[in-house]
Amino acid sequence: MNFEKALRAIIDSLPYMLGGVWVTVGLIVGALALGFVLGVPLAVIQVYGRTLARRLVVLYVWLFRGVPILVLIFLFYFGILPHLGLDSAFLAGVIVLGLTSAAYQSQIFRGAIQSLPAGQLKAARALGMTDTQAISCIVLPQALRLSIPGWSNEFSILLKDSALVMVISVQEIMARTRSVAGRTHEPVAMALFAGVLFFILTWIGLRLLRGLERRVRIKGYSQEGSV
Partner 1 sequence: MSVASQAKGQNQEILRVEKLNKSFGTNHVLKDATLTLRKGELKVLIGPSGGGKSTLLQCMNFLIPPDSGRIWLDGVEILGHKKRELYAYRQQVGMIFQDFNLFDHLSALGNVRIALTRVRGMSRKDATDRAMAELDRVGLAAKAGLYPAQLSGGQKQRVSIARALAMDPKVLLLDEPTSALDPELIGEVLAVVKDLATAGMTMIMATHQITFSAQLASEFVFMEQGAIIEHDSPAALLAPGACTRTKAFCAKINELTGEPV
| Minimum CB–partner distance for residue 223 and partner 1 (Å) | 13
Q: Cβ closer to partner 1: 51 or 222?
A: 222
In the complex, least distance from residue 191 CB atom to partner 1, rounded to whole angstroms: 45
The set of residues, in sequence order, having a beta carbon less than 8 Å from that of 226 and lying 6+ positions away, is: 220
List all residues 6 or more positions away from 35 whose beta carbon is below 8 Å from its beta carbon.
97, 98, 99, 100, 101, 102, 104, 105, 154, 158
The pair phi, psi for residue 222, each rounded to 5°, is: -110, -175
Q: Is 111 or 187 the residue whose CB approaches partner 1 more closely?
A: 111
Is residue 219 a contact point for partner 1 (CB under 8 A)? yes
123/208 with CB nearer partner 1: 123
- Left (φ > 0), alpha (ψ -120 to 50) or beta: where does 98 sit? alpha
Closer residue to partner 1 in complex, CB, 44/95: 44
CA distance 102 to 107: 9
Residues 110-149 that bind partner 1 (CB under 8 A): 117, 119-120, 122-130, 133, 137-138, 141-142, 145
Residues that bind partner 1 in the complex, under the rule CB under 8 A: 117, 119-120, 122-130, 133, 137-138, 141-142, 145, 218-221, 226-227
